[in-house]
Structure 1
Amino acid sequence: MTGQGDRRNWTYLLKRGFTYGADWQIGASGQLTVDKALPDLPGVYALIVDEDIVYIGVTARTLSKRMADYARGPKAQRTSHRVHHLLKTALGGGRVSRVLYAMPEHTDWNGLPVQTAPGLEQGLIQHIKPIWNLQGA
């Protein structure tokens, strides 16, 4: 049986089909950025600090737009604002932060449409209990 610590290691998601997307960085003027272009598709994403999965999320927009929200950290978006500051603190402390993602296909159940990404997000939060997810705490 896999221990809780093993489930929180980023390789846990990589072995199960997640893709490495980018590293977070602090730019010269102090802004958060990612070092690679991310897909313009919706999906489930994981934020990693060092080797640990610290946040699981889902976006119906695009992954690149969702990460831009975290980069800006607007106060009106409570989660974006909170995660923005957590990322800046981690990076400012010399830690490495990455983005992983998965884009599960929609399916159907008895002829009814099923969006699998929200279910995957919820299941991962319950299973991994990432420390930055308020539901996982």
Structure 2
Amino acid sequence: MSKSEKIRELAKSGMSTAEIARTLGIRYQFAYGVLHAARTSVGDRPISNAVSAAAKPSKPPLLVSDLRTAGFEHVGSWILSAEQRLVLDRELPKAVGVYAFAKGDAVLYVGVATMGLAKRLYFYGRPGVSQRTSLRINAIIIDELARHPKIDVYAAFPPDLEWNGLPVHGSAGLELGLIKKFALPWNMRSAGQ
């Protein structure tokens, strides 16, 4: 049995992508790629809904109202400039924090800005050639803005904490918690964990 076949069999049994990767001692991205291709088709026929559901556990959506209740604030919006470049409609805070991109009331992406919010989001508007995530999200936002007038940006600035005398990064922990709990379609790590 090939590794790809083992991945598909474990997904049918209900294991998440992360569990499959750990069990087989393979990279998460490899398991994700096999399952993503399997969800699309097996050979020339569509895969059954049972396999697709087992491969991708259902998570609830994250709503803007949830963010607002938790203390996130609206800090700006992505728009297209006259030159069709991705820009923010206002200056952003420079503080370290967690940010979320939303269309309407649906949160589509969350991230952590360890270098500061303004600097991190600058790279989405002007991604470097080696910045894969920034390039990917830049393209997604530009595509969305062709159909929707703006993508809203929300941010929160949680304090750093301490656990048993060790430092805990509040923003990084919040970002990971949101990714693990909610369905966030633009976050690759949100799928299958």
Q: If the length of structure 1 is used for normalisation, what is the TM-score?
A: 0.91
Task: Give the aligned partner of residue 57 of structure 1.
Answer: 111
Asked if structure 2 preserves the Cα contact closer than 8 Å seen for 1:73 and 1:82, the reply is no
Residue 112 of structure 1 and its aligned partner are, at CA, apart by: 2.2
Residue number among 97, 100, 105 corresponding to 2:151 in the alignment: 97
Deviation at 1:94, TM superposition (A): 2.4
Q: Aligned equivalents of 1:82 and 1:39: distance in 2?
A: 23
Residue 106 (structure 1) aligns with: 160
One-letter identity of the residue aligned with 2:94: D
Higher fraction of strand? 1
Q: CA deviation at 1:76?
A: 1.0
Q: What is the aligned length?
A: 133
Match of 1:4 in 2: 60
Please say if 1:81 is aligned against 2:115: no
Q: Identical aligned pairs, as a percentage?
A: 34
Q: Secondary structure at the match of 2:188?
A: coil
Aligned to 1:136: 190
1:95 deviates by: 4.3
Higher helix share: 2
Pairing partner for 2:121 from 51, 56, 67 = 67
Structure 1: tracts of 5 or more residues without a match: none
CA distance in 1, matches of 2:102, 2:129: 23
Q: CA deviation at 1:103?
A: 0.7
The secondary structure found in structure 2 opposite 1:37 is coil
- Quick check: which has more Rg, 1 or 2? 2
2:176 to 107, 122, 137: 122
Query: Which residue number corresponds to residue 21 of structure 2?
Result: none
- Structure 2, gaps ≥5 residues long: 1-58
1:55 Cα shift? 0.5
| In 2, Cα distance between equivalents of 1:101 and 1:33 | 17
User: Is the 2:79–2:149 contact (alpha carbons within 8 Å) kept by the matching residues of 1?
Assistant: no
Alpha-carbon distance in 2 for matches of 1:73, 1:30: 15
| 8 A contact 2:86–2:142 mirrored in 1 | yes
SS in 1 for 2:70: coil
Equivalent position amino acid for 1:109 in 2:
W
